[in-house]
A and B are shown apart, each in its own frame.
Chain A
Amino acid sequence: MLWDYFKAKEILDKYGIRSIESRYVENADDAVKFSQSKPIVLKLISEKELHKSKAGLVKLELSNEKDIRRAYEELASKGKSLKPYKIIAQKMAEEGGIESIIGGRDDPQFGKLILIGLGGVYVEAFKDFALRVCPINEYDAGEMLEQLVSRNVITYKGESRKMLVKLLMSVSKLLVENPQIKELDLNPVILREKSYDVVDIRVLE
């Protein structure tokens, strides 16, 4: 069962994992109000569609009222075949950065696994990821990053590496302490040199 987005966001907050400011919107007016003239993203969330971007359910960089309204109407119309659905509005992540995926799943043999890889639309094309059993320590987290072909793209230098190691350890802790979670996707997590944003969350129980 897919968790409600905000239930999932709340648990990330609890473990100090920063996700981007978001709220559900009931109509186009709500979305416009949320924007406050700053660029936003609108997404349709439905259990029926895992690949939001590919299905055209993510509308990026909506900076004026006209674009926001048009995007909202388009999503609402697509939603008719994906009921039940919700539309979420999010602040745009800062410019730049690289998309990664951090995830977890409950393996019947070995228990909780944690994953990091090249994320976003590249997840399936490159399948560049590293996997470990939870709990992981600092060394394991470092080795996970070292294992990635894209390691030099994902972690620029010392500081971003440290940040990412800490983030992985927080996710591992979350997975271990919440046994009811069967699958977790933080995808994409946008990584910049000194900060990151979890942009999309998917938790399955």
Chain B
Amino acid sequence: MKELKYILKPKSVVIVGASRTPGKVGHIILQNYINDGYSGNIYLVNKNEEEILGMRSYSRVTGIKAGSIDLAVIAVPAEAVPEVLEDCGKAGVKSAVVVSGGFAEIGKQELQDEIVKIAKKYKIAMIGPNCLGVMDPRSRVNTLFLPSYKLAKPEIGGISFVAQSGAVGSTVLDLMAGEGFGISKFISYGNAADIDEVDILEYLMEDEETKVIAMYIEGIKRGRDFIELGKKITKKKPVIILKAGRTAAGATAAHSHTAALAGSYEAHEAVFRQFGFTIANDISELLYYSKIFASEAAPVGSRIGIITNGGGAGVLTTDAIASSRHMSLGELSEKSKADLRKVMPPLVNITNPLDLAGDADDKRYRDALTSMASDPGIDMIIVIILFQTPGADSRLAAEVVAMKEKTSKPMVVLSIGSEYTEMHKMMMERSGLPVYDSPRAVALSLEALYSYYQYKNHSG
């Protein structure tokens, strides 16, 4: 296994190509290290400078005491990378993130092969080239050359997001941070010249800080190794994959119906399905599924209970559940019905979906949730809260968060609305309660959760 720990948890970092000029990649990276409060040693290398932002700058990596650097972040023009990497090798640097572009992605395969050779010679674990690199909010490592004010700052959490593409990577990272997701690692690995998706997944599989893995990929370099890994990783933690290239044309005209139907994308999808990966069809689904898996609740069945303070929203959600593959509405037990009848006002019809009416407050929700949580006929709970109604306020949001702590059943919230709703959504999200804004998103997410645990339970 490649040593990603030196990349994600380095005790010391050298930024090669560090710059005093604002806007330059080498400046942004340095600025981010300083802003994020990285606590390890930072060394700077720039062959034309002796001092940058008040810090000493070395002219070459070899000028720094050998063996003292875990990670080199390399942001110099492509042609200069081989020499820098050679220096890193001589100085005993253990790992490198090459953010520089200008390699295989523009046809310069030879230059890329050259740096791989150097990395292998000195046993440097290398990410890139042509990548954003990594971010780890715990170790405060951040090699992203994106100005920090342009990107929402992610909280510490259990989702690791891996993206081949830096652009999709930073976009999704921004969205995740904005929605209040807790991030464990962000890894953008670009051309995958040395460290590829299999290496990264192997690391994340064993990483205890990572509870859920979300991935955006364009291709897989080592198909059979990916399959072998797939047999193990999804038994340990959920992996959500968004794969681009659905519409790629087949390389050659097919000679059989089978080949005409099952192209490269279909083959990838088949592998994902067979080995328990969760397939996301777009960025929205990637976010939906990351969120529900991060809540770490495992369903034992597929019967849904719905609590709502709006009849129409309840019906729409019932429709979405009914059109899913595996889920259906559960039947309330006689005990639940009796309990609820005692505490609910007469206008509440005791059935599933349970419509608590427009004046429902936190107390009524608590009673409803208590019954659903202990009802043996209900496996997963959807709580619809329309915050536009008089009884729905912050007390209710807090009540639902508290209930989530008490039940082992998966529980999600559906809230549709603007400013006031958004504020409460954020409150609940940050407390680890997944909140969605459409019945379809809820149904897709619960279905994905259920399917994953079905696979996991089956394959042990």
Give residues in A with beta carbon < 8 Å to B: 2, 50, 101, 103-105, 107-111, 113, 115, 117, 123-124, 127, 129-133, 136, 139-140, 143, 147, 183-185, 187, 202, 204
Flag if B270 contacts A131 (CB, 8 Å).
Answer: yes
Task: Answer whether A204 and B227 are a contact pair too, CB < 8 Å, given A107-B267, A109-B267, A133-B270.
Answer: no
For the residues of B in contact with A, the DSSP-based class is helix
Flag if A101 contacts B264 (CB, 8 Å).
Answer: no
Flag if A117 contacts B261 (CB, 8 Å).
Answer: yes
Flag if A50 contacts B271 (CB, 8 Å).
Answer: no
In the assembled complex, the CB of B192 is this many whole angstroms from the nearest CB of chain A, namely 14
For the residues of A in contact with B, the DSSP-based class is strand
Contacts of B266 in A (CB 8 A): 131
Number of A-B contacts (CB under 8 A): 84
User: Contact partner of B267 among A113, A139, A147, CB < 8 A?
Assistant: A113
Contacts of A117 in B (CB 8 A): 261
Give residues in B with beta carbon < 8 Å to A: 220, 223-224, 226-227, 254-262, 264, 266-271, 273-274, 458
> How far apart sit A180 and B256, CA to CA, in the bound complex (Å)?
16
Flag if B224 contacts A115 (CB, 8 Å).
Answer: no
> How far apart sit A190 and B258, CA to CA, in the bound complex (Å)?
17
> How far apart sit A115 and B224, CA to CA, in the bound complex (Å)?
19
Query: Which chain A residue has the least Cβ–Cβ distance from B275?
Result: A133
Flag if A202 contacts B256 (CB, 8 Å).
Answer: yes
Instruction: List 14 A–B pairs whose Cβ atoms lie within 8 Å, in order of A's numbering.
Output: A50-B257, A110-B223, A110-B267, A110-B271, A123-B257, A123-B261, A124-B261, A132-B270, A143-B273, A143-B274, A147-B273, A183-B259, A184-B258, A185-B258
Flag if A133 contacts B262 (CB, 8 Å).
Answer: no
Contacts of A115 in B (CB 8 A): 258, 261-262
Flag if B264 contacts A109 (CB, 8 Å).
Answer: yes
Query: Which chain B residue has the least Cβ–Cβ distance from A129?
Result: B261
Query: Which chain B residue has the least Cβ–Cβ distance from A102?
Result: B258
Contacts of B268 in A (CB 8 A): 109-110
Contacts of B224 in A (CB 8 A): 110-111
Flag if A109 contacts B223 (CB, 8 Å).
Answer: yes
In the assembled complex, the CB of A67 is this many whole angstroms from the nearest CB of chain B, namely 28
Contacts of B223 in A (CB 8 A): 107-111
Task: Answer whether A103 and B258 are a contact pair too, CB < 8 Å, given A109-B264, A110-B223.
Answer: yes
Which are the 5 A-B pairs with shortest beta-carbon distances?
A103-B258, A109-B223, A131-B270, A183-B256, A110-B223
Among B261, B264, B458, max chain A CB count under 10 A is at B261
> How far apart sit A132 and B257, CA to CA, in the bound complex (Å)?
16
Contacts of A133 in B (CB 8 A): 227, 267, 270-271, 274
